[in-house]
Chain A
């Protein structure tokens, strides 16, 4: 039996997120979570009494808290509720969204709240990510999530000059979006006229990956409330429907550095997108979706991954960026929120993608709302050794 029809439909009826920032010394961890939880409840016009189950996710070793949902219950509101804790690294936020969707669709719970959280300033992020590598050997070699390999890939294929310009164009589009989003962590006010200057002046991290192109390290929390179709229709005028989701993981180490065309490597983003679109009968995803909230940890990865997600040919992915088709007002706006480059509280990040996509579908994104109708949205999560989670949201229950 292939993928079945959902047991029952699930709608997103509330979204809350904190301002993402590297200066949240004013709150401790549960207090920060409480901010997002209150905002989500307020958004859904609910109280904690209405919530049946709480799903919590983040990465323990970033803040060095074991079983953090025990302490965090002071902010999550889980007291007296069913509650589970699921994590999967960078994709955690997306995974808890999938979990909440499953928990509601199963019929076990009517209203479930997913809470993603990270306070990266309370640990050392790059060292934390490095700790994910096998302690017996690779931990001694890895440099966190930093690699210049995407920059190398794109540059080798299209020339360093064009690649650099596309990467910075993407980066500046994200900054322009972030400037419209009051919750964004980094919003510099960059302009396209600064591209050449930034290529020269921004400090290099690894290879051609520059500081300006890498995501921030943020403190932040996000909460999203999911409800059964019946409840969603009762409680919300504009529920956003979760159509489907898919998670694809990849083996423990990166073995993508052979660079020999006789040995092509299957890419997880591409595989996940193909599978998801196939089972939902989406033939032309680039035209189908009205917005894409992508987990883009660096602009180089974003421009490379665009091709994987939408199965683009030749240099189509670069042209979409050069022609600013990924900007608000373009053919397929990517990250009207400013994306992960602007704000990255890791355990919350992938849930923020779903939350922002839902806001776009609902038409409630404020200054960064896409002006044209948003009926179909896609959100991605990224983590681990090239893991992918994709979530499809819909305005209408008509698929």
Chain B
């Protein structure tokens, strides 16, 4: 849809509900048609003094009067940019049907107000930080003792520290000491866009335009509760519908049968043994064992004990805080996810597991004839027949 003075034809219709003046529609029951060339047709129904419906229609029927105009004229008339009388006289607006009835619509709606000239980044920054204390909700800040530092770059940037303690909020234009969280934006404009919801945090982080240090969880979870959301003073002309989002955690308890093959592997772990199974055709060892060799499409039933020591062939250092799907709790990062070629295995017959956290730096990966770091499993005292019966692997010195 085309825009005229930054406004679309549908904006005019979509805001009719908010702009409706019941005092201007007393005793009126009628439908009005609008045929806006190239944009579509609408039908506005007033019933007994209330605005009953504003609907987009394929054809206009059952209306006391129908107005037709092009988009520019229509938007212009509704926003005061185009003189309505001139437009009508000049034939740019046509009305079919009961002209007098249509005339009444002028009193039924407030004028559509175009937002005033855009605010500058500097004005926004001043307004955003200027309203923080007034947006603070002390009742939500029980037991919070934290400082949130902002370091915004660019010509409109600056530094701020918002401190919350004893259910009080203060703001300073310096960053001192060791803030609980520090948010850095290379350009203050990105911060403004972020607060206005025009850009999301992940995009900024991905593009390297911002960073967050310290207790990020606190600012993600507590800040939105402690402070009222910033309201864009420019957003007033067209009130937005509140978008409700339903949040749910869904869980259905499961009991997974392990079967004779995976069950054997898990039972082995209980006894501090690692079992693979060997394909009768190609001889490869599957680890953990699987029912069938996918390559040869034959059942595999010969179990072989391998390891428990082996060498690292590959390691992923994971920095991304992944929530454990079984618990929902984010894993502590970084951690090392390793592929181990256990003794007795060859080629690609590796087993994935984790390396002891403090040994990530020391791991060397194997390659062709080059051996990787030798590792051994560290077993849990109490074992349940679970992959975590091996706590992790550690360097075998």
A and B touch in the complex (CB under 8 A): yes
A residues whose Cβ falls under 8 Å from a Cβ of B = 22-23, 25-26, 64, 124, 126-127, 130-131, 134-144, 146-149, 152, 156, 186, 188, 190, 197-198, 201-207, 211-212, 214, 216, 251-253, 255-263, 265
With a CB–CB cut-off of 8 A, which chain A residues contact B262? 134, 136-137
Contacting pair B207 A212 (CB below 8 A): yes
Task: List the A residue with the shortest CB-CB distance to B319.
Answer: A204
Within 8 A of A (CB), among B222-253: 243, 245, 250
Question: 19 pairs across A/B with beta carbons < 8 Å?
Answer: A26-B243, A130-B322, A137-B266, A138-B387, A143-B316, A146-B318, A148-B317, A197-B208, A202-B206, A204-B317, A204-B319, A206-B316, A252-B294, A255-B348, A257-B313, A258-B313, A258-B347, A258-B350, A260-B366
Docked CA distance A216–B366 (Å): 32
Residue of B whose beta carbon sits closest to that of A261: B368
B250: chain A residues at CB < 8 Å are 64
Interface flags for B320-341 (1: CB within 8 Å of A; 0: not) read 1011111000000000010101
Partner of A212, one of B208, B313, B318, B368: B208
B352 at the interface (CB under 8 A from A): yes
Q: Give bound CA distance, A64 to B339, whole Å.
A: 32
Size class of the B contact interface (CB-based, 8 Å): 35 or more
Q: Within 8 Å CB of B362, what residues of A?
A: none
Q: Which chain A residues lie closer than 8 Å to B203 at the CB level?
A: 186, 188
Q: Choose among A126, A152, A206 the residue with the greatest number of B CB atoms under 10 Å from its CB.
A: A206
Tell me whether B354 is interfacial, beta carbon within 8 Å. yes
A260, B368: Cβ atoms closer than 8 Å: yes
Q: A212-B206, A216-B202, A257-B314 are in contact. List 12 more A-B contacts (CB 8 A).
A: A127-B325, A134-B262, A137-B288, A141-B352, A143-B322, A149-B314, A152-B365, A201-B208, A203-B211, A214-B206, A259-B367, A261-B368
Neighbour of A207 across the interface among B211, B316, B388, CB < 8 A:
B316
Chain B contacts with A in 258-313, Cβ cutoff 8 A: 258, 262, 265-266, 288, 290, 294-295, 313
Q: Does B5 contact A (CB under 8 A)?
A: no
Give the residue among B208, B211, B387 with the most A Cβ atoms within 10 A. Answer: B208
- Is B353 interfacial (CB-CB < 8 Å)? yes
Contact A259 B354 (CB under 8 A): no
**Complex contact B294–A127 (CB within 8 A):** no
Give the docked Cα–Cα distance between A148 and B316 (Å): 6
State A204–B319 Cα separation when bound (angstroms).
Answer: 6
Q: How far is the CA of A201 from the CA of B211 in the complex (A)?
A: 10
Question: Which B residue sits closest to A152, measured CB to CB?
Answer: B314
Contact of B353 among A134, A141, A251 (CB under 8 A): A141
A140 near B347: Cβ-Cβ < 8 Å = no
CA distance A148 to B337 in the complex (A): 11
B207 in complex: contacting residue of A156, A188, A205, A214, CB < 8 Å = A188
- Closest Cβ–Cβ distance, residue A202 to chain B (whole Å): 5
| Among B205, B207, B294, B387, contact of A251 (Cβ-Cβ < 8 Å) | B294
Q: Are A130 and B366 in contact (CB under 8 A)?
A: no
- In the complex, the chain A residue whose C-beta lies closest to that of B259 is A136
A214 to B318, CA, bound (A): 14
Q: Convert B348-360 into 0s and 1s, putting 1 for each residue whose CB lies closer than 8 angstroms to a CB of A.
A: 1110111000000
B350 touches which of A156, A203, A255 (Cβ 8 Å): A255
Residue of B nearest to A190 (CB): B207
Contact of A127 with B387 at beta-carbon distance under 8 Å, contacts A25-B243, A141-B352, A148-B316 already known = no
B74: min CB distance to chain A, Å: 23
Binding site for A on B (CB under 8 A): 197, 200, 202-203, 205-208, 211, 243, 245, 250, 254, 256, 258, 262, 265-266, 288, 290, 294-295, 313-314, 316-320, 322-326, 337, 339, 341, 346-350, 352-354, 365-369, 387-388
Which residues does chain B contribute within 8 Å of A22, judged by CB atoms?
Answer: 200, 202
- Interchain CB contact under 8 A, A205 and B347: no
Interfacial chain B residues near A25, Cβ < 8 Å? 243, 245
Pick the contact of A186: B206, B211, B295, B314 (CB < 8 A): B206
The reply to whether B320 and A146 form a contact with Cβ atoms under 8 Å apart is yes
- A130 and B325 in contact (CB under 8 A), knowing A143-B318, A149-B314, A252-B294? yes
For the complex, give the distance between the alpha carbons of A206 and B318 in Å.
4
Contacting pair B258 A127 (CB below 8 A):
no
**Beta-carbon contact of A258 and B206 below 8 Å:** no
Contact A257 B245 (CB under 8 A): no
**B residues near A135, Cβ cutoff 8 Å:** 254, 256
Q: Which of A142, A186, A214, A256 is the one whose CB lies under 8 Å from B348?
A: A256
Please report the C-alpha to C-alpha distance between residue A41 and residue B349 in the assembled complex, in whole angstroms. Answer: 50
Smallest Cβ distance from B251 to chain A, in angstroms? 10
Please report the C-alpha to C-alpha distance between residue A126 and residue B319 in the assembled complex, in whole angstroms: 14
Assess whether A206 is in contact with B317, with CB atoms less than 8 Å apart. yes
**A259 with B368: CB separation less than 8 A:** yes
Known: A198-B208, A206-B316. A258 touches B243 (CB 8 A): no
Given A202-B206, A257-B313, A260-B347, the answer on whether A156 and B367 have CB atoms closer than 8 Å is yes
Residues of B within 8 A of A255 (CB): 348-350
Of A26, A186, A207, A251, the most chain B CB neighbours within 10 A belong to A207
Tell me the complex Cα distance, A188–B206, Å: 10
- How far, in angstroms, from A201 to B316 measured CA to CA in the complex? 20
Task: Say whether A141 contacts B337, CB under 8 Å.
Answer: yes
B368 engages A127 (CB within 8 Å) = no
Interface centre among B323, B337, B354 (most CB of A within 10 A): B337
Which single member of B197, B326, B368 contacts A140 (CB below 8 Å)? B326
- Which residues from B are CB-within-8-Å of A146? 316, 318, 320, 322
From B200, B206, B290, name the one whose CB has the most chain A CB atoms within 10 angstroms. B206
A211–B206 contact, CB under 8 A?
yes
Are A126 and B322 closer than 8 Å at their CB atoms? yes
Q: Are A203 and B348 in contact (CB under 8 A)?
A: no
8 closest residue pairs by CB, A with B: A263-B347, A258-B348, A251-B294, A257-B339, A201-B208, A137-B387, A257-B314, A25-B243
Asked whether A139 and B325 contact (CB < 8 A) given A257-B350, A258-B349, A258-B350, the answer is yes
A99 to B22, CA, bound (A): 56
Tell me which of A143, A202, A203 contacts B337 (CB under 8 A): A143
Among residues of B, the one whose C-beta sits closest to the C-beta of A212 is B206
Give bound CA distance, A251 to B296, whole Å: 11
Q: Report the separation of the CA atoms of residues A135 and B325 in the bound assembly, to the nearest whole angstrom.
A: 10
